[in-house]
Structure 1
Amino acid sequence: MFLLFRGLLLLLTLWLSGCSSTKPAGSAASTIVYLVRHGEKDTALDPKDPPLTAAGAQRALALRDSLQRRPVTAIFSTDTKRTRATVQPLAEAKKLDVQTYDAKPVGLAALAKQIRTLPRGKAVVVVGHSNTVLETIEALGAPRPVPSIADSEFNYLFEVTIPSNDRPATARALRYGAAQ
């Protein structure tokens, strides 16, 4: 009887180990890229490179709060006051340096290539402009989740998933911070 019980226990153990939900060897998790437009800007102070308004500074804190628990390992921003200020609270919370990128089409392609070389299973944040965020999503291989971003819209938080396999990237539009 004891041997029969041990045999059944061994078979049950082997069967359960075959039902494990672990990923197959060699597979890796998807990379998640969060893309936002800079916060509200104050063009009265500096029309060429405006800083954030008080509302924009609040939006930067909302971005930090929205992404603080995500496994962010890299942060990218164009080289403007408003984009850097939008992501600075998150960068400080994560103890990460903000890397700058060129928002021209060639620069967006280079940024997408660089993101694809980062370790899988982590998150990346990219801050851009109303006329570059959707183009960056396309450079990452995903279709635009919205047709355009109006000049008055600052609360989109786009989430692009880059699968570890050969499947295409996907994008979805979320919102964060105060409504406009």
Structure 2
Amino acid sequence: MTALQRWTICIALALLGLAAAWAGAVPPAPPAVLTVYLVRHAEKDLAPGLADPPLTAAGQARACALARALRRAHPAALFTTNTLRTRATLAPLAAATGLAPRPYDARQPRALADTLRRAYAGRAVVVVGHSNTLLPLIAALGAPLPVPEIGDAEYRYLFEVRVPARGPATVRVRHYGAR
């Protein structure tokens, strides 16, 4: 092989390397996906006349189970309505993560969905609500409703809604805590 041939091959390889680098040797970042974990508050005291009932012992155990189930999700924020039972459901996870729960208005699911999309794309958040507020929030996030309703005695649902930057949102139904 002549010196000219070696030089030509060397230049060709260098140009191929530059073309590869220019074409994106560093792949573009995947689109940011917002992950929203939604749960109903844990078991509440059903004694008559309680305006803002606390959690029962079973509810406190479920709140601890929630912390165990979601601490590895590394949430960026925690959201709760302003009731004793929702705040208590989130308390063990807040303690485990060091995050201060943020209040939200459950009557405004679209406002919360917009805030989550705008401020938390690419991250995970946890929302604690009520049997009649979770499904409207899932719909506001653009995901199909995973169940037709959440019954008064149902506390085990853990909904995982994934909201991509483009395309439809999806929802996965899990359960946590005791049956």
Q: 2:62 aligns with which of 53, 59, 62?
A: 59
Cα RMSD (Å): 2.5
Who is 2:35 aligned against?
32
Q: Is 2:170 the partner of 1:170?
A: yes
Who is 1:68 aligned against?
71
**1:97: Cα distance to partner?**
1.1
**1:17: Cα distance to partner?**
9.7
Paired AA for residue 42 in structure 2: G
Paired AA for residue 92 in structure 1: A
Paired AA for residue 177 in structure 2: G
Q: 2:82 aligns with which of 79, 97, 100?
A: 79
> Secondary structure in 2 aligned to 1:111?
helix
> Secondary structure in 1 aligned to 2:125?
strand
**1:85: Cα distance to partner?**
0.3
The change in CA–CA distance for 1:163 and 1:44 in structure 2 (over 3 A counts) is same
Q: Is 2:80 the partner of 1:97?
A: no
Paired AA for residue 75 in structure 1: L
Q: How does 1:10-21 map to 2 (within 5 A)?
A: none
> Secondary structure in 2 aligned to 1:125?
strand
In percent, how many aligned pairs have the same letter? 50
**CA distance in 2: counterparts of 1:42 and 1:173, whole angstroms:** 26
**1:140: Cα distance to partner?**
1.0
Q: Which has the larger radius of gyration?
A: 2
The 8 Å contact of residues 72 and 125 in structure 1, kept in 2 or not, is answered as yes
Paired AA for residue 90 in structure 2: V
**1:10: Cα distance to partner?**
9.1
**CA distance in 1: counterparts of 2:138 and 2:26, whole angstroms:** 31
**1:120: Cα distance to partner?**
2.0
**1:147: Cα distance to partner?**
1.1
The change in CA–CA distance for 1:55 and 1:142 in structure 2 (over 3 A counts) is same
TM-score, normalization by structure 1: 0.84
The change in CA–CA distance for 1:31 and 1:42 in structure 2 (over 3 A counts) is same
The 8 Å contact of residues 43 and 51 in structure 1, kept in 2 or not, is answered as no
**CA distance in 2: counterparts of 1:46 and 1:82, whole angstroms:** 15
> Secondary structure in 2 aligned to 1:87?
helix
**CA distance in 2: counterparts of 1:46 and 1:10, whole angstroms:** 79
Who is 1:134 aligned against?
135
**CA distance in 2: counterparts of 1:57 and 1:46, whole angstroms:** 21
Who is 1:151 aligned against?
152
- Listed one character per residue, the Cα deviations across residues 80-110 of structure 1 (whole Å, up to 9, x for unaligned) are 1100000011111111111111121xx2111
Query: Structure 1: which 5+ residue stretches go unaligned?
Result: none
Paired AA for residue 57 in structure 2: A
Who is 2:122 aligned against?
121
Who is 1:23 aligned against?
28
